[in-house]
Amino acid sequence: MKLSTPRWWYVRHGAPAPLTRTLLRPASWLWAGVTARKIARAKPEAAPVPVICVGNLTMGGTGKTPVVAELLRRLNSQGLAAHGLSRGYGGRLTGPLEVDRAAHTAADVGDEPLMLAQGARIWISRDRPAGARAAAAAGARAVVMDDGHQNPALRKDLSLVVVDGETRNGDWPFGDGAVFPAGPMREPLKAGLARADAVVLMLPADLDAPDPELLALLAPTPVLIARLVPAAPPPGGPQVGFAGVGKPWKVEKALQAAGCQLADFAPLPDHFAYDEATLLRLQRRAEDFGAGLVTTEKDWVRLPAEWRGRVAAWPVRAAFEDEKALDEILARALPQLVRGGH
C-alpha cells in the first residue's frame, strides 16, 4: 500500500473532513480489534540472541529508521556484533537473506533495509523469527529490528517506540487518537505504550524542549529525547526537493532549516516507486528554476541507477540528547554491555 499521509490525521481538535473521519471510524475499530486479538493470542518465539525492537505507534514518518541506524552504529562501536532485521516492506524478496547493496535494489529488499545496509549488516525476512535465527547463525550477538511493535511473532528483549515530538502549528503526533484509517494510530495509544520499555521522542532541530502535555501523556514510560540532525550540509545553490516518505512536509521544513535554498518541493506518497515520467517532470521543474534536485537517502536508494548521479541525497542521523540514559536502557536487554564481555 502506497500511503499518502493526510495532514488532517495530525490535527488534534477541529480537524477538517469530519464526514470522512466519521465514515472511517468503523474500519478503524475493526483494525484495532484485529491487532489487539493478534497480539493477545500470539506465542512469541524467542531468538538465539537479544532482540531490540524499534517501532511506531503511528503509521510512519517519525524517524524510526534513523534510530535503528544509530543503535546499530552505537552497539557495533562498543564491540557488540549487532545486525539489523526488517520485514523488507516494498521489496519482492521474502528472505531470510542478508542485504547486499551491490546485488540488491529497493525493489528487491525495500528502501529502508537498503539504506541501513550502508552502515551495518542487515537482514530481511517476512518471517521475523527466521530472520533473527539467520542473523544469529551469521554471527550476530544482538538484533535490532526495524518496525514490528505490533508484530508478536518474535519475542522482544527491549521495545522502543519512536514518537514525533512536533506539536506546533496545530500538529499533534497522535491526531485525535483515532486508529487507522480514521487517524494515524496503529493501535490505541495506551495499548501501544503498555508494551513499550521506552519512548524515543523525536524533536525538530529548532525546538528546545518537548511539549509538557505530550510528556505527561507518555508517562510513566521513560522518554529519551532525540533529534534528526544533518549528517552533511544540503547541496549549495537553488534546489527542487522531493520526498516520498510518511511526512514529506517535515523533509521540506528540515531542508529549509538546514539552509537549503529550496525553489520548490514535491511531496509524494510513502515508499513511492520512482518512474521515468515522474523523474523527468521533476527534472523539468528544476530546470525551470535553474536548480538541482535533492531528496532523502531513503528516496535516493529507490531511484533508478541512471538517475542517482543527477540527484543529491541529503543524509540525516538521529542524535540522542542523553547518551548515558540510552546506554542504560540498552543494557537492560544486553547485559554483556554492562559486564564488558564482548
Going from N- to C-terminal start, the domains of the chain cover: 51-229+318-339, 232-314
Average pLDDT of the segment spanning 294-301: 95
Contacts of 193 (CB under 8 A, 6+ apart): 57, 161, 199, 218, 221
Residue carrying the nine cell digits 534546489? 239
Provide the whole-model pTM: 0.91
pLDDT digits (tens, 9 = 90+) for 205-252: 778 889 999 999 999 999 999 999 999 999 999 999 999 998 898 899
Q: Is 297 a residue whose pLDDT tops 50? A: yes
Convert the pLDDT of each residue in 97-136 to its tens digit: 999 999 999 999 999 999 999 999 999 999 999 999 999 9
Sign of CA dihedral 230, 231, 236, 242: negative
Q: How far is CA 97 from CA 13, 82, 128, 136, in A?
A: 45, 16, 11, 12
Q: What is the pLDDT of residue 17?
A: 76
Q: What pLDDT, in 10s, does the model give residues 242-293? A: 999 988 988 999 999 999 999 999 999 988 999 999 999 999 999 999 999 9
Hey, what CATH topology would domain 51-229+318-339 get?
Rossmann fold (3.40.50)
**Pairing, β 97-98 against β 122-124:** antiparallel
Whether the CB-CB separation of 187 and 57 falls below 8 Å is answered with yes
